[in-house]
Structure 1
Amino acid sequence: MPSIVQRTLTITTGKRASIKLDQPTWQAVEFLARERGQTWQEWCKQVLVGVSGDDNMTASVREAAMAGLLGATIMPDLQDRAEQLALQENHALMRNAAPIDDKLLNSTLKHAKVQGGSDFGGFEVLFGFDEHGTDCIWIKNRIAGGLHFAIQAPLN
């Protein structure tokens, strides 16, 4: 069972709240706060605007932390994604790059000539030539169900 950590937060002058979360959730809160250039206290205060009662406060912080992580990692903002794709299209290497799923990666590697690679724990970088002899790099994600990434050398 994960250990529960209690932190006390001063919400308004004289009013304090005790928030009890497991350590991974506190790590998520701290990550999200850092992403916004805030302390965990500032981040929590923004979440807790209009919430009353310690139980509701804890639940609100937990929910905001999970939603924030999902938004930051799994479901990025669509506007951000559009900007990323536009930037990618203007870069010579990234123009020929794409996320690929397990099935496509396995099929591609089956027909490719992999010359080597490096293991980085959470991911593996492979390099070689695709079935048409084009230089390629494949970044193999080790997170179950996660996407991989393929980069093909620009065609001259």
Structure 2
Amino acid sequence: MGRAYRIGTYVVVASISSLIATENRAAAPIDPLASLAGRWVGMATMTSMSGPASNFKCVVTYVERKDGVQGMRQTLRCDDGSNFKLHAATDLSVEGEKVTGAWQDKINDIGGTVSGIVTADGFDVQLSGQFFEAHMAVAGQGCDQSVKVLPRNPDVFRELAATLKKC
């Protein structure tokens, strides 16, 4: 607020207001993926072209980028307790409604690029690489999130679908 100082018979009002200072600065844009931040845990099902579906536990973590760019680092770890493991990481950058970045499968030592869009509750991207291409859709609201991966060539699996919670 302001302070009044009496100098002789005149009153000088010195106003120190953070409101005026903040009005002159542009507000930082809100990261559209910020609601995904945190640790999500749940079950996933991988459907193959032949044979029974596999069920396993998944932990997906989203951490804000440290480089000042809007976006998240997504880490996906899934394990069935015996044979199946998936450890993947995705760096996502957001500019407007556009999502770009890179992905890496740490178990198979493969990776590639990410490109897509921000959606109302997450993102919808294409994962492209020399040995693997897929569509990945992530939607989260409140305590619930779904992750769906559909490979372009379903010779390894036809669909990976996870239902996760963080609360």
Q: Same fold (TM over 0.5)?
A: no
- Pick 1 or 2: higher relative contact order, CA cutoff 8 A, min separation 6: 2
Give the strand-richer structure, 1 or 2. Answer: 2
